[in-house]
Amino acid sequence: MTVIELAGIERVFHLGDSEVHALTRLDVDINAGDYVAIMGPSGSGKSTLLNLLGLLDRPDAGSYRLEGRDVTTLSPDEQAAVRSRRIGFVFQSFHLVPRLTAAENIALPMMLAGIPVVERTQRVVQALKDFGLDQRADHRPDQLSGGQRQRVAIARATIMQPAVLLADEPTGNLDRATGDDVINLLEGLNQRGMTLIIVTHDPKIGLRARRQLMMEDGLLKSDSARPSAVVAST
């Protein structure tokens, strides 16, 4: 089943008088449960692509269907609802709210979605156990190590059981060993059926994915799933 269908996606930024084509003629399908790495040098458009996939940004042209539903035409509030229920984000710099404890950070998406407190507490307790954070529930982010912070962030991203997990350089701020732990954790989630999309410029991490998308100057340069098709279009 296809979870993400991108067709003819264009994204243009206006910097002064010049136009920068961040994404050009992008056609990508991603299957449910897939494990995709988006790679490429800085400025190649991979972060723009991730923002589009996460509904944080809108394309200037083309269509984006998430789970069969066209999400580019949705109102901002409807897009927020889709982000809340169907998309999880993991960031390079963790993006934990500093004044909230680990448990409160994990509960944040459920709080925003208006889930009752009792259910929230149950799910947070379960998540803390699943991610090995039982002892850290009441710690604030500045009392956690980098690896623990990213685990809190991943627990937060998955607490709403989204269809797609988007990770933007999830190991960028971590040392090698901790980074490997985090990647193993993400791969474990993928093995249990969650679609995982990682943006990285680290080839070692990229090559662990089942499928690699290589970006360059806003174009999809190669797609390990369809080697010939992409080359033909460029």
Partner 1 sequence: MRNADILRFARDATTAYPLRTSLSVLAMAIGVAAVVVLTALGDGARRYVIEQFSSLGSNLVIVLPGRSATGGFSPANAITTTPRDLTVDDAAALSRLPLVRRGRAAGRRHVRDQCQWPAARNTGRRHGLDLPRNSQLQDGARAFLPEADWNRGSPVAVIGAKIQEEIFAGRPAVGELIRLGDRRLRIVGVLKSTGQGLGMNTDEVVFVPVAIAQGMFNSNTLFRVLIEAKSRDQIEQVKRDAAAVLKERHGGEEDITVITQDAVLATFDRLLRALTAAVAGIAAISLAVAGILVMNVMLVAVTQRTGEIGLLKALGARGSTIRNAFMAEAAMLSLVGALTGYGLGLFGAFVLRQAYPVFPAYPPNWAVVAALVTSLSTGLLFGIMPARRAAQLDPVQALMKH
Binding site for partner 1 (CB under 8 A): 51, 54, 56-57, 76-77, 80-85, 89, 91, 93, 95, 97-100, 108-109, 111-114, 156, 160
The minimum distance between CB 225 and partner 1, in angstroms, equals: 27
Which CB sits closer to partner 1, 63 or 91?
91
The minimum distance between CB 91 and partner 1, in angstroms, equals: 7
Which CB sits closer to partner 1, 104 or 223?
104
The minimum distance between CB 148 and partner 1, in angstroms, equals: 18
Torsion over CA: 45, 51, 54, 56 (sign): negative
Which CB sits closer to partner 1, 101 or 222?
101
User: Long-range contacts for 112-119 (Cβ within 8 Å, ≥24 apart)?
Assistant: 112/84, 113/84, 113/85, 113/160
Question: Of 94, 155, 150, which is closest to residue 130 (Cα–Cα)?
Answer: 155
Q: How far apart are CA 224 and CA 85, in angstroms?
A: 29
Torsion over CA: 216, 217, 221, 224 (sign): positive
The minimum distance between CB 160 and partner 1, in angstroms, equals: 8
Which CB sits closer to partner 1, 99 or 192?
99
Residue 103 host element (H or E): helix 102-112
